Amino acid sequence: MRTVCTYDCPDACTLLVDALRGGGFRVRGDPESPFTRGAACAKVQRHLRRLSHESRILAPRLKTARGWREIAWEEALDRAAAAIQARRSEPASILHIAGDGAKGVLKEAVNLLFAELGSRRTRGSLCDAAGYVATVVDFGARENNDVEELLRARAIVLWGKDLQRSSLHTAALVHRARRAGAEVVSISPQGEENRPFADPLIRIRPGTDRFLAAAVLRRLADEGALPQERFACTRGAEAFRRVLFSRTVSEWLSACEVPTAEAARLARLYREGGPVSTLIGAGLQRYRRGGETVRWIDALAVLSGNIGRPGAGVYFHLHSFHNLELGWVRGSNPGGRPALPIADIGDAILAADPPVRLVWVNGSNIVNQAPDSGKTAATFSGVDVKIVVDAFPTDTVERADLVLPCTLMFEQEDVVGSFLHEYVQYARCVVEPPPGARDDYWIVREIGRRLDPPVLLPEPEAALRAALRSPWLKTSLEELRAKGFVRSRRPRIAFEGMRFAHPDGKCRLPTAIHEEEPAPQGFPLRLLSLVRGRAIHSQILPEDQDLPPAAGIAPDSPGLSGIDPGRPVAIVSPLGRMRVRLRMLPGLHPEAVLVRRGTWMRLGGGINRLIAAQITDLGAGAAFYSQFVRLEND
């Protein structure tokens, strides 16, 4: 049976799920999908274990003085509704935290209940807010060329993009483009991570990509390759030039520690007419100046003429629902709800006025995933009522008062978009869910009915039909169910002819650039808590937890001074310490230490407990990579 992956992954792969003789299932990529082309990643294959895993929660749980007690669904729904009803007269005392543990229209529609209640929500992002807000500031909208335009590029620049661990299909397109003659360059503090995809591997000092973009732009200007007519499609040109010419090429390169020859090669690619496609990874915007960094890379693409035409363009994350109509999930008063910054949720809850007295969490292991997890956990535990919708005993579930077990991917119907490609897809329920699990939307509809007065949410099918009433789609729910996928009617080329989405049609150029903060005394290493290749965020089964976590460091790193690798080692920040296993990573920048994120605190992991809550310059994102640490023998 055909369905789609609903993980928080850009690819949104079309899948075939087949029942096996004797029990169990097989999952494979759909060969008939024009995007998936028969390929599916390891994360999807491993998901089947989650469906029947012994640690899965299969009945509502109530925390008592003696520990957890399983209760019936009727009691659980009545308790949840009563807790909300008791605080309904002061809606700002109710905080709704929604994540992207699974994608889909009905997952997003859960927001409608809390919007109608007028409860608090969160703002910003733990993922990509600085980058996508920078994109909107520059271009007026979050739009990319169709991703298959990579096949028409003469050069592809992977700017902080790790293709070994993210987006299998982007990696496949880059491979195909490279075989066809495209030159591929990788820029990253990791150096070697894109060795299978790129020839030049430019190792850069963490957090300084904007200085490399400025160096290349300054070199192009010195060579006469930024003619005046290129600025005709922009605003802010004079202030931009003042900043650009405030330093020489060498001075810009000194800040990012990139050799002159490598910068010259990068400048040649952008100068010689391309087309050059620029792929921006989410990691480089997870610094305090992450938005500024994306803006300088955008400026390089625009002023070199590598946007608005086939084979060129800047690729960052699209909005997952940009081809669907979901304005209705914001409720009847979309602008009137107070919001707390998700990147500093622990302090934000403590400072909230009126106090937060009830927290509802769905689709998020917020205690594990937010910065300063220790404070988040303590603050969360101090709220009167915590209701969590989840399927596993995560760090967030551990601190809940009431746990409502949810269905998982393959066990529920939905409609899904993508933040990479232009296909909208139908997620068919292909596996019967266990008797104790309910889907998120069913849960909030049932609770809404129990309120006084009730909050009545639309039937699931009506919600799916409403989402398809988008100007970018020409399909029906029946057609989508039958075919499985449909491409939107968006043009393949974004900002064609250098006409941008701002009312005046012009791109905005950055007009400032800030120094990167130095390492504080006693903490010489930049902590990079990077993505995993075989799991999404903290969706890791207990036996798959990598504990103590591996910490990668360059053999020539000054952070190894005085460390005996034969004895236990810990990463230490001002917030605490965590035992790790050292791994030598030749090619990693010597100022960095690398840990793959997602392990659970209660099992000895949870790297975010060492990371202070800092907010990015744009988008209220979490500046995870602005944390400095040191190594110590434990």
pLDDT along the chain (634 residues), means of 10: 95 92 86 93 89 96 96 98 98 96 96 96 96 98 97 97 91 96 95 82 97 98 94 98 98 98 96 92 97 98 97 96 95 83 98 97 97 97 97 97 98 97 97 96 98 97 98 97 97 97 98 96 97 90 93 96 94 98 95 96 95 98 98 94
- Contact yes or no for 130/294 (Cβ under 8 A): yes
The CATH class of 129-316 is: alpha beta
| DSSP secondary structure, 147-174, as one string | GGGGGG-SEEEEES--TTTS-HHHHHHH
Q: Where are the alpha helices (DSSP H) in 192-322?
A: 209-222, 237-244, 249-256, 260-271, 290-303
Give the residue extent of every domain in the chain.
2-51, 61-126+322-487, 129-316, 525-633
CATH pick for 61-126+322-487 out of 3.40.50.740, 3.90.230.10, 3.20.20.80, 1.10.150.390: 3.40.50.740
- pLDDT score at 19: 83
- pLDDT score at 354: 96
Q: Cα(464)–Cα(461) distance, rounded to whole angstroms?
A: 5
Strand boundaries in 520-584, DSSP class E: 525-530, 550-553, 569-573, 576-584
- pLDDT score at 274: 83
- Contact yes or no for 110/362 (Cβ under 8 A): yes
- Its sign, for the CA torsion 212, 214, 219, 220, is positive
C-alpha dihedral over 385, 391, 396, 397, to 10 degrees?
A: 50
Q: Which amino acid is at 187?
A: I
Q: Which amino acid is at 309?
A: R
pTM of this prediction exceeds 0.85: yes
Architecture of the structural domain at 525-633 = Beta Barrel (2.40)
Q: Cα(585)–Cα(485) distance, rounded to whole angstroms?
A: 42
